[in-house]
Structure 1
Amino acid sequence: MTLVVAASNVLVQHPVEAFGLADKLTWGAFSYPLAFLVTDLTNRRFGPKIARRVVLVGFALAVLLSLALATPRIALASGTAFLVGQLLDVSVFARLRRLAWWRAPLVASLAGSAIDTALFFSLAFAGDAEMSTTVGLLGGVADAPLWVNLAAFDFIVKVFGAFVLLAPYAALMRVVRPFETPRPSR
Structure 2
Amino acid sequence: MPLKRAYTLSDFILPVFAMCAIVAASNILVQYPFNHFGLGEILTYGAFTYPIAFLVNDLANRSFGPAFARGVVYAGFTIAVILSVWLATPRIAIASGTAFLTAQLLDITVFNRLRQLTWWKAPFASAIFGSLLDTLLFFSIAFAARFARIDAMTGHADSSLAMLVPYFGREIPLWMSLGFGDVMVKMFMAVVMLVPYGAILAIFAPTIYLANRNSR
TM-score normalised to structure 1 length: 0.91
Are the counterparts in 2 of residues 45 and 176 from structure 1 also a CA contact under 8 Å? no
Distance 1:109 1:20 in 2: 27
Match of 2:143 among 125, 129, 141: 125
Aligned partner of 2:36 in structure 1 is 18
12-21 vs 112-121, greater mean Cα deviation: 12-21
- CA deviation map 1:130-158 (0-9, x unaligned): 51111122xx2432100000000000000
Give the letter for the 1:144 counterpart. I
For the pair 1:9 / 2:39, whether they are aligned, the reply is: no
Q: What residue is the counterpart of 2:76 in the other structure?
A: 58
Aligned 1:18-167 pairs, distance under 5 A: 18-127=36-145, 131-137=161-167, 140-167=168-195
Give distance in 2, aligned partners of 1:134 and 1:125: 13
In the TM superposition, residue 176 of structure 1 has moved relative to its aligned partner by: 4.4
Larger Rg: 2
1:174 Cα deviation from its structure 2 partner: 2.6
Q: What stretches of structure 1 move > 6 A for 4+ residues in a row?
A: none
Alpha-carbon distance in 2 for matches of 1:104, 1:51: 14
Percent identity, aligned pairs only, is: 54
Q: Distance in 1 between matches of 2:33 and 2:136?
A: 18
Q: Secondary structure at the match of 1:174?
A: helix
Relative to structure 1, the CA distance from residue 112 to residue 176 in structure 2 (aligned partners, 3 Å threshold; closer, same or farther) is farther
Please give the alpha-carbon distance, in whole angstroms, between the structure 1 residues aligned to 2:34 and 2:94.
23
The alignment's TM-score, normalised by the length of structure 2, stands at: 0.79
Residue identity opposite 1:52 in structure 2: R
- Number of aligned residues: 176
Q: Kindly indicate whether the alpha-carbon contact (under 8 Å) linking 1:2 and 1:58 is maintained by their aligned counterparts in 2.
A: yes
| Equivalent-residue separation in structure 1 for 2:104 and 2:203 (angstroms) | 23
- Range that drifts further, 25-34 or 121-130: 121-130
Separation (CA, whole Å) in 2 of partners of 1:92 and 1:154: 21
Q: Equivalents in 2 of 1:58, 1:142: separation in Å? A: 39
Structure 1 residue 175, shift from structure 2 partner: 4.0
The CA deviation at 1:116 is: 0.3
